[in-house]
């Protein structure tokens, strides 16, 4: 699809919608993505946002060349916008109502291997090394790393704790592993506010953390992302505890079904059972036709 310059009307309606979304309590990251998705949509539509028909939106969705997961995300932002437009009285009907939301195939965990993690930590420079540690040993998401503030880090009874706001605006408090404490402590100043800033001096964003980690991983011939270190955390936690509920709590998931997607297990008990079954069934039949 061709792109066009945003009209004043499109800029205005995106601004009004973003102000409404902010007042509902969505995260800054969600608000940023909502604006960007609506801006791209407005650039690609042959009409203004509020003049779009179901056919326009269907053509837009069919033109997307990103992953199914991204198509699903983009579609969700667009559908949320048009539902709001109807409820706010800007439209009589919702042109996105019949826009399909793609089903995402079940995914499997892709944890960073222990040897690869060791290499990453060996060659990474600060603050990237600390970001890798926070993702791999505490399971922090990129957005959670980016938004850490000095006042989020406290000490109680000789332990360092990190507090923050996680996915879905859920607050969390986690003990910082003793081995991670020296790395994180090295970045603590006395001033309140965001712990790290972007290279240009503005607020650090999750995309910068993800981008820097991905750049290092690719330079080492690895096909991981920063989020794969969260997979590593979940997998290692389950391997140590064999308790999915404990792992769920550590990863701050709403349900164990979510946690299961992050845990790669060898299931040694299953393997042993399969071996016993084969041994019992085939005993004495060696060499049989």
At 63-121, the pLDDT tens digits run 998 878 889 999 999 999 999 999 999 999 999 999 999 887 767 788 999 999 999 99
Q: How confident is the model at residue 246 (pLDDT cuts 50, 70, 90)?
A: confident
User: Cα separation of 202 and 139, whole Å?
Assistant: 25
Q: How confident is the model at residue 48 (pLDDT cuts 50, 70, 90)?
A: very high
pLDDT over 90 at 211, yes or no = yes
Per-residue pLDDT, averaged over 217-242, amounts to: 92
Please answer whether residues 118 and 212 qualify as being in contact, where contact means their C-beta atoms are separated by less than 8 angstroms.
no
Q: How confident is the model at residue 1 (pLDDT cuts 50, 70, 90)?
A: low
Per-residue pLDDT, averaged over 232-253, amounts to: 87
Q: φ and ψ at 175, to 5 degrees?
A: -75, 135
Range in 218-222, 247-251, 256-260 with the lowest mean pLDDT: 256-260
Query: What percent of the chain clears pLDDT 90, i.e. is strictly above it?
Result: 61
DSSP string for residues in 193-261: SBS-B-TTSSB--HHHHHHHHHHHHHHTT----THHHHHHHHHHHHHHH--HHHHHHHHT-SSHHHHHT
- Residues whose CB falls within 8 Å of the CB of residue 133, separated by 6 or more in sequence, listed in order: 121, 180, 183, 184
Point out which residues pair with 155 in neighbouring strands: 160
Q: How confident is the model at residue 184 (pLDDT cuts 50, 70, 90)?
A: very high
Res 288: pLDDT: 45
Res 165: pLDDT: 87
Res 265: pLDDT: 64
List Cβ<8 Å contacts ≥24 apart for 197-205: 203/146, 204/146, 204/147, 205/29, 205/32, 205/146
Please give the CATH superfamily to which domain 114-260 belongs: Intergrase catalytic core (1.10.443.10)
């Amino acid at each position: 699809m061709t792109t066009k310059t945003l009209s004043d009307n499109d800029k205005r309606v995106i601004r009004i919608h973003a102000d409404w979304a902010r007042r509902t309590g969505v995260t800054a990251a969600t608000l940023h993505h909502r604006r960007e998705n609506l801006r791209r949509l407005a650039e690609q539509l042959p009409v203004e946002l509020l003049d779009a028909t179901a056919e326009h939106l269907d053509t837009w969705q069919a033109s997307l060349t990103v992953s199914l997961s991204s198509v699903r995300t983009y579609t969700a932002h667009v559908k949320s916008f048009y539902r709001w437009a109807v409820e706010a009285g800007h439209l009589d009907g919702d042109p996105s109502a019949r826009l399909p939301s793609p089903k995402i195939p079940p995914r499997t965990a892709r944890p960073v291997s222990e040897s690869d993690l060791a290499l990453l930590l060996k060659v990474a420079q600060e603050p990237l090394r600390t970001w890798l540690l926070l993702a791999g040993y505490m399971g922090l998401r990129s957005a959670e790393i980016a938004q850490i503030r000095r006042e989020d880090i406290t000490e109680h009874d000789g332990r360092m704790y990190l507090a923050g706001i996680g996915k879905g605006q859920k607050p969390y408090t986690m003990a910082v592993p003793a081995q991670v404490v020296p790395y994180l402590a090295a970045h603590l100043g006395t001033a309140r506010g965001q712990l790290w800033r972007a290279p240009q001096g503005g607020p650090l964003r999750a995309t910068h953390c993800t981008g820097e980690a991905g750049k290092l991983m690719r330079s080492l011939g690895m096909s991981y992302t920063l989020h794969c270190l969260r997979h590593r955390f979940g997998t290692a936690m389950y391997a140590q505890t064999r308790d999915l509920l404990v792992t769920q709590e550590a990863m701050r998931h709403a349900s164990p079904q979510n946690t299961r997607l992050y845990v790669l297990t060898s299931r040694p008990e299953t393997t042993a059972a399969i071996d016993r079954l084969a041994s019992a069934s085939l005993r004495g039949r060696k060499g049989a036709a």
